[in-house]
């Protein structure tokens, strides 16, 4: 029972940080677009912040969220072993979570090794977030759309 509570709490915290990161990533895309087009509505907001400082803050959020996502996956493996007697259950939640983890890992390692930033890093992080979104909220989508299995 303790594993379940730990798993759920870490998962919610991880998802929260990565959601904030996704929202901030979209803001960075708007910020970069404003630098080119000089949109009057966004200019007051973007003049208050430095793109580099926002990006540095974003990657701190992504690192923390990635570490928590890693702990979520590990606690999920412990949880599934305790309940089902198997180390991993191959369902859409597990597969999408692994895909999200791999995408976040690629983005963070690309930032360290190749200096990825801007649109490339934001694009990869948003793809990772879509995988994560499907892992947490995609049950209905997977059952009804992909598997064409109506539950009603």
Instruction: Spell out the alpha helix ranges (H) of 38-91.
Output: 40-47, 51-84
Closest residue by Cα to residue 129 from 95, 97, 89: 97
Contact 139, 93 (CB under 8 A): yes
pLDDT for the residue numbered 34? 73
- Cα separation, 21 vs 60, in Å, equals 9
Q: For the chain, what is the domain count?
A: 1
- Encoding tokens for residue 67? 């570490």
Q: Residue 79 domain-assigned?
A: yes
Q: What is the pLDDT of residue 150?
A: 57
Range of the structural domain that residue 14 is part of: 2-146
pLDDT at 136: 82
State the average pLDDT for the chain: 83
Which portions of the chain are predicted below pLDDT 70?
1, 3, 35, 38-48, 81, 83-88, 139-152
List the structure tokens of 96: 């999408």
In a domain, 119, yes or no: yes
Place of tokens 């090794």: 113
Q: Give φ, ψ of 147 to 5 degrees.
A: -95, -5
pLDDT at residue 139, rounded to an integer:
66
pLDDT of residue 75: 84
Q: How far apart are CA 132 and CA 91, in angstroms?
A: 14
The verdict on residue 152 lying in a domain is no
- Measured CA to CA, the distance from residue 53 to residue 66 in angstroms comes to 20
Name which of 94, 60, 59, 90 is nearest 74 in CA terms.
94
pLDDT reported for residue 77: 79
In a domain, 37, yes or no: yes
């Amino acid at each position: 029972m303790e594993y379940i509570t730990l798993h759920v709490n870490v998962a919610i915290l991880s998802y929260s940080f990565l959601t904030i990161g996704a929202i901030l990533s979209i803001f960075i895309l708007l910020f970069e677009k404003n630098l080119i087009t000089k949109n009057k509505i966004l200019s007051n907001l973007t003049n208050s912040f430095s793109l580099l400082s926002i990006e540095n803050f974003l990657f701190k959020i992504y690192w923390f969220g990635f570490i928590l996502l890693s702990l979520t996956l590990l606690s999920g493996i412990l949880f599934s072993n305790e309940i089902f007697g198997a180390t991993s259950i191959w369902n859409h939640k597990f597969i999408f979570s692994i895909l999200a983890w791999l995408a976040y890992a690629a983005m963070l390692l690309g930032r360290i090794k190749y200096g990825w930033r801007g649109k490339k890093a934001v694009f990869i992080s948003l793809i990772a977030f879509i995988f994560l979104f499907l892992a947490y909220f995609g049950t209905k989508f997977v059952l009804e759309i992909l598997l064409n299995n109506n539950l009603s």
